[in-house]
Amino acid sequence: MRQRVLSGLIMAPMLLLIFFGGPLLLAGAFVVSFMAAGEYSKAFREKRIMSAEMKASIVFLYALAALHYPLGISGSQNFFLVELMPLWLALTLFVVFLKSFNMKKFGTEQAALTVMGTLYTGFLAVHIVLVDQRFSGEPLFSYPQAGSPWFTVGGFDSYVWIVVLAAFGCDIFAYFTGMAIGRHKLCPGISPKKTVEGSIGGIVGSIAVCGVYGYFLIEGGFVTSLVLGALCGVTAQFGDLTASVMKRSLGIKDWGTLIPGHGGILDRFDSVLFTAPTVYYSLLIMGVNR
């Protein structure tokens, strides 16, 4: 119980950043990505991946995402994805492959693991910022009032909450459903304790939690939230299993020890890394405008 209380105290500031949204959420997402990159680098230290280059790439990625706030570019989210994201990816690949020319120290395996780590801890995570920038409602408060605000209080009328509610709701419902009625193993070679019944319970739980949230707190967003809950219920578990595959291949139980009872940053946010892009691109495809 003490571990869970401490874990809750650590998670509370992160939920507060989602409430504020805007540049504060971007800063929080950057810290999570940077720390996750550190955990990834440490876990793969025997592979001698390019840790410094990976972290530098993440810094550059969030610097590009932050251009939305001082510039106030119209449609800047599309500008980020269409123009700046390919630039970031091209430069990252260029630097990594250039360093791999030092074949006595690095090689193809190091380059591939570095790129995978950068996409995993940086590219996936930054989508929570993109959801906030494009699919939040009117902020409760912003300063300055005219122009691009550098400080906002977003409140609860935002699809960003779906990102975390779907991930945590799926995890909680899957756990208790599996404990209660779980009989058939889902992926015994990857995660022996996960069951088919637990997986279904996780999806149902994600739909229920997101549906309730959308009905009461997102104007006209009930049906959309139900759809997002179903999609995220699947991808959240995919994210969890993906992390389990990597940890099992490395022979480790947790990515880190930062959060008592839950391991490291990656152990707590492995599902969120997959629900964030799911919410963002699903809302784009569904043509949601806010």
CA distances from 237 to 126, 255, 272 (A): 19, 17, 10
Q: Is residue 290 part of a domain?
A: no
Report the DSSP beta bridge partners of residue 141.
Answer: 153
Q: Is residue 246 part of a domain?
A: yes
**How many degrees, rounded to 5, is the angle at CA 24 between CA 6 and CA 21?**
95
Pull the structure tokens for residue 289. Answer: 């405008």
Over the chain (290 residues), the average pLDDT of each successive run of 10 is 51 82 92 96 92 96 86 60 86 94 86 96 96 82 62 83 95 94 93 94 98 94 97 97 94 85 86 97 92
Pairing relationship of beta strands 141-143 and 151-153 according to DSSP bridges: antiparallel
Q: Is residue 22 part of a domain?
A: yes
Its domain, for residue 147, covers 2-285
Q: Is residue 161 part of a domain?
A: yes
The pLDDT score that the predictor gives to residue 198 is: 97
Number of domains in the chain: 1
Q: Is residue 105 part of a domain?
A: yes
